[in-house]
Amino acid sequence: MKKIEQYRTTVRVSAISFFCAISTLIYFLVWDVAYNPFFEHPYIGKGKLFIIGVYFAVLLASSIFLGSHRIDELRRGEIIFYELIALVFANAIAYAQICLIEAVIANFMGMLFAMLIQVLVLIVWTYLAVAIVHYMSPPEKMLIIYGSHLATEIVYKMSQMEDRYVISESANVDEGFDKLTQKIERFDNVIICDVPARLRNDLLKFCYQQKKSIYLIPKISDIIVRSGSDITYFDSPIMKCGSTGLTVEQATIKRFLDVVLSALALLVSSPVFLVVAIAIKLYDGGPVFYKQRRCTMDLKPFDILKFRSMVVDAEKDGPQPAVDNDKRITPIGKVIRGLRIDELPQLINILVGDMSIVGPRPERIEHVEKYSEEIPEFVCRYKVKGGLTGYAQVFGKYNTSAYNKLKMDLIYIQNYSLALDFKLILMTIKILFKKESTEGFKVKGKKDN
């Protein structure tokens, strides 16, 4: 977005800070009326400023951590969703603080009222902020340069955001560097997809010199290089790219959290386990759980657990992926698959150590063999344990191609951090509200590319 490109960070932080300031004011007014007067020692003066400062800092940090400040890139619904999580987190911290001060479970109605007002303000702010950003920066006229594939998927997805991107023309690498550079000069920015390495490097340098932003569809090698660390020996810059997966310290902490969180989740969800188990059993008398052989870290096979959502003999003719309106799915199965409740028994897999809460989705053994033949790099995703949720699950969907899932899984592995795990766990909530995340494969004419 040309007009705000150089001020992108300033615009983002200013916009989200403005919203956080309004939300903090709403919280403070409610707190000062509904809670502060009833404390044994009410806050006054600098004490009130401290309350305001802590709330604002927590909300702003949560917003930036979740990415809701990226108003120039996200859709309105995504901005609202991410900021809603930030509000819930900040208000939960604030409510816990109130309970500690009063040394009792405080009345929740005041916090609920503040939250409702904040959500209304959030919706209004989102529409105004996005409208202002779009006014400051009209849609980008873009050129897509492609190699052996016309990247129709990317064109389709970006075309759905016509208020930001207008893909006006496409060009094939066969046209040559000189003709491509002539075309690039006529456009605001460029998408580069599946272009041979040497030509791509030349195009990247040209676009950089011409101050054109580049939307690069990454290859596996790009993801590996992107996660590298800088080293300088004498006067030679060097990039070191890790390839071992998690360190011993990271793996130990991750396992500890897996045990604690899965045990708590099993305890909290036990009523759901009971209700779903009874419903499945009453429907057709078949088994409650469904076991399926899958692969986890280092290609180790294990039996993944799910609530059975299909008829008992669903795979009598061999493994078959679910398709849209699959007749094998039972009425109970439609409900639990739509809400992702069928995945809950995997908490047991996590507790015993077969899986992690966050990681690449464990694939069936036959799928691993198939994808590994088509994509030799596919085995690289097994440097860590398979997960209940993960990067590909949050940002992809059920029928995302194996290659795109692999790239997202490698982004997670190569950039692993505890903070990223927590972020993905919070963002997993979004999946429950996205129909496309549970889409099946089309019956005909659709293949993974």
Summarised one tens digit per residue, pLDDT across range 114-131 is: 999 999 999 999 999 998
Asked whether residue 241 is assigned to any structural domain, the reply reads: no
Look up the domain containing 208 and give its range.
140-217
pLDDT confidence of residue 188: 85
Asked whether residue 443 is assigned to any structural domain, the reply reads: no
Asked whether residue 153 falls in the same domain as residue 132, the answer is no
Asked whether residue 292 is assigned to any structural domain, the reply reads: yes
pLDDT confidence of residue 324: 60
Q: Which of 88, 108, 136 is the last residue of a domain?
A: 136
Asked whether residue 322 falls in the same domain as residue 366, the answer is yes
Query: Over the chain, what is the mean pLDDT?
Result: 86
Asked whether residue 152 is assigned to any structural domain, the reply reads: yes
Asked whether residue 129 falls in the same domain as residue 192, the answer is no
pLDDT confidence of residue 114: 95
Low-confidence ranges of the chain (pLDDT < 70): 1-6, 149-150, 234, 316-324, 398, 432-449
pLDDT confidence of residue 444: 40
Asked whether residue 21 falls in the same domain as residue 81, the answer is yes
Asked whether residue 257 falls in the same domain as residue 296, the answer is yes
Asked whether residue 132 is assigned to any structural domain, the reply reads: yes
Instruction: Please write the tens of the pLDDT for every residue from 32-89.
Output: 999 988 888 888 888 899 999 999 999 999 999 999 999 888 888 889 999 999 999 9
pLDDT confidence of residue 15: 93
Domain of 192, CATH number, reads: 3.40.50.11060
pLDDT confidence of residue 339: 82
Asked whether residue 268 falls in the same domain as residue 415, the answer is yes
Asked whether residue 53 falls in the same domain as residue 192, the answer is no
pLDDT confidence of residue 5: 64
Asked whether residue 224 is assigned to any structural domain, the reply reads: no
Q: Which of 79, 105, 136 is the last residue of a domain?
A: 136
Asked whether residue 174 is assigned to any structural domain, the reply reads: yes
For 76-80, the CB contacts below 8 A with 24+ separation are 76/126, 76/127, 76/130, 79/126, 79/129, 79/130, 80/122, 80/123, 80/126
Query: How many of the other CB atoms lie within 10 Å of CB of 77?
Result: 12
Within a 13 Å sphere around the CA of 271, how many CA atoms are in the beta-carbon half? 1
Asked whether residue 187 falls in the same domain as residue 119, the answer is no
Asked whether residue 267 falls in the same domain as residue 404, the answer is yes
pLDDT confidence of residue 161: 75
Asked whether residue 101 falls in the same domain as residue 155, the answer is no
Instruction: Please write the tens of the pLDDT for every residue from 293-309.
Output: 999 999 999 999 999 98
Asked whether residue 278 falls in the same domain as residue 402, the answer is yes
Q: How many domains does the chain have?
A: 3
Asked whether residue 124 falls in the same domain as residue 156, the answer is no
Please state whether beta strands 301-307 and 189-193 pair in parallel, antiparallel, or not at all (unpaired).
unpaired
Asked whether residue 227 is assigned to any structural domain, the reply reads: no
